[in-house]
């Protein structure tokens, strides 16, 4: 069905039979009023009528019409139009429709049954100002000249106009068909302030308004906006209402107990206009949201409870209620409370309730513990000597833990340091009850004590004593020798670096011969030859055996040479004499020689 150049065209294609009905209308329909169009097919008869005008056509070959596809009103999509190029369909319908119905059917509300719409206004036409401008005899000359395009201004918004072009020369003229266009709407003017606003609850309000007056065009939608008073000039929330027949809307997403300024915005396809003034409203209080559970500073027998106001109070907080293990223990407006007379490291369930005049909200439940203390008593460890370098340590778990056991620590000291320096030899969170101490010194007395630790600190036991088995000494030092005469030595030495037990005796070897065996740390050797070389070695002994230290060598001091020096002289010419001599029998040190010559010598020239 197509309305073109004053003719209502009906095209019907069933199978291979094509039927066309043309109803001449002229400009009778262009009067600014509603026109009733009826298209009818009964058997082989196809007819079309508008108001009092009617046209029909008999086509015996026409087949029964069965519709099993979508029905397009006012135009068809481009992707569908490509399949029906033979119909020569032009651009979509420009105008208004209402009360569309089919045979044996009810009136169709296009707004509710349509599956899609493209640039379609579904609320009817509002203006009849175009009636006088589309009558053929009342046409106005817009342009005369030789150009093939013209721009016309000063038209009315949202008004339909008919245009045609007359081409003329000296022999005559020819006219085009009438082409209809509609100007675009204008932006709405004088949008009123909402007439009434009332709260549904703290989160939503119902807004009522009057229809804007003097709108030229179709109102596409209304927009409600809410601004916080004294806040940024940006709406907190907004709602778009496409059903413009309704003058009441719901605005959600508000915050309870907040002052808002509500405005109305009306929109056409061209643009939107917001009301110059706003209607103020205060949302009521609601129950708080995001109530945070209480926190606590833990002490061994008390808890200092504290809490923050709800992140979203939704009103004025009138009361807090603190529950411990399901029993209320505090009611009031404070945000701190001390819970006393509790057991050490004991769990308790806490929950906080915050209330406004509108209601109360609970926080999530939280479990809080009183603080830990060190264990009440730690028994001394049991020590077992395995060999000369190993002690096996065992202990028991403390009876009163006073918290969560975190670690065990073993301290050790020995008699070499007079038990004044304690070293940590074991520190582990692996809660074993034994430990083997290795790489100890043989024959050494050790003090060992145990510490058990919780989150509240550590308790240390009394010390247990153990002595490792003795072994042969290690690190026997080399002796130190000092000669103060040409025939004797003073020899001294220190204790072995690792005695590995009780030293029973020291032996001193000189030139491989044991010359002293006692508990002394020094020896005097005499009756030696001057400048004589000797070797010394110290031996240290325990009950388990003896060990030798490194060898040291030293010489006695020098003495005067003993014996005679035999000199041999040989004359070498008139001015030279060659001297040779033999060393004395006992040099008694490093020798130096001095030659004395007496007689006459030639003077230097």
The CATH number assigned to the domain holding 317 equals 2.60.40.10
Same domain assignment for residues 160 and 218: no
The per-residue pLDDT for 92 is 66
What pLDDT, on a 0 to 100 scale, did the predictor assign at position 164?
Answer: 85
**Do 357 and 460 fall into the same domain?**
no
Q: Is residue 214 situated within a structural domain?
A: yes
User: Which of 400, 340, 349, 397 lies closest to 372, judged by CA?
Assistant: 400
> 399-438: per-residue pLDDT in tens?
999 999 999 999 999 887 778 889 999 999 999 999 999 9
Residue 125 pLDDT level (bands cut at 50, 70, 90): low
pLDDT of residue 138 exceeding 90, the answer is no
Residue 46 covered by a domain: no
Give a yes or no: residue 74 inside a domain: no
Residue where a domain stops, chosen among 257, 282, 307: 282
From 451, 467, 483, the end of a domain falls on 467
Asked whether residue 254 carries a pLDDT value surpassing 60, the answer given is: yes
Maximum CA extent, the chain: 179
Give yes or no for a contact between 292 and 308, defined as CB atoms under 8 angstroms apart. yes
Instruction: Please name which of 417, 410, 413 lies closest in space to residue 433, comparing C-alpha atoms.
Output: 410
For 562-570, which contacts have Cβ atoms below 8 Å and span 24 or more sequence positions? 562/586, 562/588
- Is 44 inside any structural domain? no
- CA atoms of 530 and 570, how far apart (whole Å): 34
Percent of the chain with pLDDT over 70: 91
User: What's the pLDDT tens digit per position in 436-486?
Assistant: 999 998 989 999 999 999 999 999 999 999 999 999 999 999 999 999 999
CA distance 551 to 556: 17
Q: What is the 3-state secondary structure (H, E, C) of 505-540?
A: EEEEEECCEEEEEECCCEEEEECCCCCCEEEEEEEE
Asked if residue 420 and residue 316 are part of one domain, the reply reads no
pLDDT at 126: 43
Residue 131 is predicted with a pLDDT of: 43
Share of the chain above pLDDT 90, in %: 58
Of residues 193 and 103, the one with the higher pLDDT is: 193
Polymer length in residues for the chain: 605
| Beta strand extents in 100-251 (DSSP E only) | 100-101, 107-108, 160-163, 166-169, 172-175, 179-182, 196-201, 204-208, 221-228, 237-241, 248-251
Per-residue pLDDT reduced to its tens digit, 330-343:
999 999 999 999 99
Least confident of 77-81, 451-455, 561-565: 77-81
**446 and 461 together in one domain:** yes
Considering the domain architecture, whether residues 148 and 269 belong to the same structural domain is answered as: no
Angle at 499 between CA 496 and CA 501, to 5 degrees: 160
pLDDT at 394: 97
Assigned domain for 56 exists: no
354 contacts 320 by C-beta, under 8 angstroms: yes
Distance of CA 74 to the CA centre of its chain: 54
* Final residue before a domain boundary, out of 369, 390, 421: 369
**Is the domain of 307 the same as that of 239?**
no
Residue 261 and residue 150 share a domain: no
555 located within any domain: yes
Do 274 and 165 belong together in one domain?
no
488 and 580 fall within a common domain = yes
Per-residue confidence (pLDDT) for residue 132, from 0 to 100: 43
| Whole-number Å distance between alpha carbons of 174 and 163 | 14
The pLDDT of 226-247, averaged and rounded, is 89
Output the pLDDT for position 450.
97
Torsion, CA 72, CA 75, CA 78, CA 79, rounded to 10: 10
* Cβ pair 414, 447 in contact under 8 A: yes
d(CA 220, CA 242): 7
pLDDT beyond 60 at 122: no
Any idea what the Cα angle at residue 151 is, between residues 150 and 157, rounded to 5°?
140
Same-domain status, 315 and 271:
no
Q: What is the mean pLDDT of residues 378-400?
A: 95
- Res 128: pLDDT: 46
pLDDT given at position 110: 65
CA atoms within 13 A on the CB side of 453: 14
Same domain assignment for residues 457 and 478? no
Task: Please tell me which residue, 434 or 75, carries the higher pLDDT value.
Answer: 434
Higher-confidence position of 60 and 48 = 48
Q: How far apart are CA 26 and CA 352, in angstroms?
A: 82
Q: What is the mean pLDDT of the chain?
A: 87
Q: How confident is the model at residue 79 (pLDDT cuts 50, 70, 90)?
A: confident
Instruction: Answer whether residue 273 is part of any domain.
Output: yes
Task: Report the pLDDT averaged over residues 45-50.
Answer: 89
- Per the CB < 8 A criterion, the answer to whether 473 and 499 are in contact is yes
Please check whether residues 214 and 262 belong to one and the same domain: yes
Q: With a threshold of 0.85, does the pTM exceed it?
A: no
pLDDT score of 340: 95
Mean pLDDT of 362-371: 96
Whether the CB-CB separation of 212 and 233 falls below 8 Å is answered with: no
Range list of β-strands (E), 399-475 = 407-414, 423-428, 434-437, 445-454, 457-460, 464-467
Q: Which domain holds residue 321?
A: 295-369
Query: Does any domain span residue 288?
Result: no
Could you give the number of structural domains in the chain? 5
Q: What's the pLDDT score for residue 592?
A: 92
Report CA Rg, the chain.
60
How would you label 169-187 residue by residue, b for 16+ Cβ within 10 Å and e otherwise?
eeeeeeeeebebebbebbb
Other CB atoms within 10 Å distance of the CB of residue 432: 10
Q: Is the pLDDT of residue 137 over 50?
A: no
* Range 287-306 average pLDDT: 95
Q: Which 8-state DSSP code applies to residue 81?
A: H
pLDDT exceeds cutoff 80 at 541: yes
Q: Out of 163-172, 262-271, 505-514, which region has the weakest mean confidence (pLDDT)?
A: 163-172
Instruction: Give the per-residue pLDDT at 227.
Output: 94
Distance CA 216, CA 126 (A): 8
Q: What is the model's pLDDT at position 20?
A: 85
Residue 1, CB half-sphere, CA atoms under 13 Å: how many?
Answer: 14
């Amino acid at each position: 069905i197509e309305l073109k150049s004053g003719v209502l065209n009906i095209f019907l294609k069933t199978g291979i039979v094509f039927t066309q009905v043309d109803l001449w209308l002229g400009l009778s329909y262009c009067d600014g009023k509603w026109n009733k169009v009826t298209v009818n097919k009964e058997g082989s008869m196809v007819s079309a009528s508008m108001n009092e005008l009617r046209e029909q056509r008999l086509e015996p070959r026409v087949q029964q019409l069965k519709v099993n596809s979508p029905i397009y009103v006012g135009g068809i999509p481009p992707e569908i139009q490509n399949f029906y190029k033979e119909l020569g369909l032009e651009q979509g319908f420009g105008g208004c429709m209402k009360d569309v119905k089919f045979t044996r059917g009810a009136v169709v509300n296009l707004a509710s049954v349509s599956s899609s719409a493209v640039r379609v206004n579904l609320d009817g036409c509002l203006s009849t100002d175009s009636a006088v401008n589309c009558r053929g005899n009342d046409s106005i000359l817009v342009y005369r000249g030789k150009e093939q395009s013209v721009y016309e201004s000063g038209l009315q918004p949202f008004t339909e106009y008919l245009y045609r072009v007359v081409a003329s020369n000296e022999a005559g003229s020819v006219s085009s068909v009438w082409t209809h266009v509609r100007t675009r709407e204008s932006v709405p003017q004088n949008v009123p302030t909402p007439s009434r606003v009332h709260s549904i609850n703290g989160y939503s309000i119902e807004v009522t308004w009057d229809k804007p007056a003097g709108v030229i065009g179709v109102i596409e939608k209304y927009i409600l906006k809410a601004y916080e008073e004294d806040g940024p000039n940006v709406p907190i929330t907004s709602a778009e209402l496409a059903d413009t027949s309704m003058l009441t809307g719901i605005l959600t997403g508000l915050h309870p107990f907040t002052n808002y300024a509500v405005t109305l915005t009306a929109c056409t396809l061209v643009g939107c206009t917001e009301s110059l003034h706003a209607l103020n409203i205060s949302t009521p209080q609601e129950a708080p949201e995001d109530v945070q559970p209480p926190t606590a500073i833990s002490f061994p027998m008390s808890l200092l409870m504290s809490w923050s106001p709800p992140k979203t109070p939704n009103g004025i907080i009138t009361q807090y209620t603190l529950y411990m293990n399901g029993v209320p223990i505090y009611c009031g407006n404070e945000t701190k409370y001390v819970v006393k007379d509790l057991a050490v490291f004991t769990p308790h369930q806490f929950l906080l309730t915050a209330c406004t005049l509108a209601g109360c909200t609970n926080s999530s439940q939280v479990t809080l513990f009183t603080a830990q203390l060190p264990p009440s008593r730690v028994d001394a460890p049991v020590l077992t000597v395995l060999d000369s370098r190993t002690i096996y340590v065992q202990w028991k778990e403390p009876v009163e833990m006073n918290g969560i056991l975190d670690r065990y620590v073993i301290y050790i000291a020995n008699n070499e340091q007079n038990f004044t320096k304690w070293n940590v030899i074991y520190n582990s969170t692996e809660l074993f009850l034994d430990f083997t101490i290795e790489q100890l010194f043989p024959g050494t007395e050790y003090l060992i004590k145990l510490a058990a630790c919780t989150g509240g600190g550590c308790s240390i036991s009394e010390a247990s004593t153990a002595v490792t088995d003795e072994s042969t000494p290690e690190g026997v030092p080399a002796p130190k020798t000092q000669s103060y005469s040409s025939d004797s030595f003073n020899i001294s030495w220190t204790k072995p670096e690792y005695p590995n037990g009780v030293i029973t005796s020291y032996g001193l070897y000189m030139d491989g011969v044991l010359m002293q065996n006692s508990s002394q740390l020094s020896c005097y050797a005499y009756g030696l030859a001057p400048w004589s070389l000797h070797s010394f070695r110290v031996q240290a002994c325990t009950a388990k055996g003896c060990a030798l230290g490194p060898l040291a060598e030293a010489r006695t001091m020098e003495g005067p040479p003993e014996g005679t020096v035999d000199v041999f002289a040989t004359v070498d010419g008139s001015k030279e004499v060659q001297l040779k001599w033999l060393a004395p029998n006992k040099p008694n040190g490093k020798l130096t020689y001095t030659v004395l010559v007496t007689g006459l010598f030639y003077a230097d020239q």
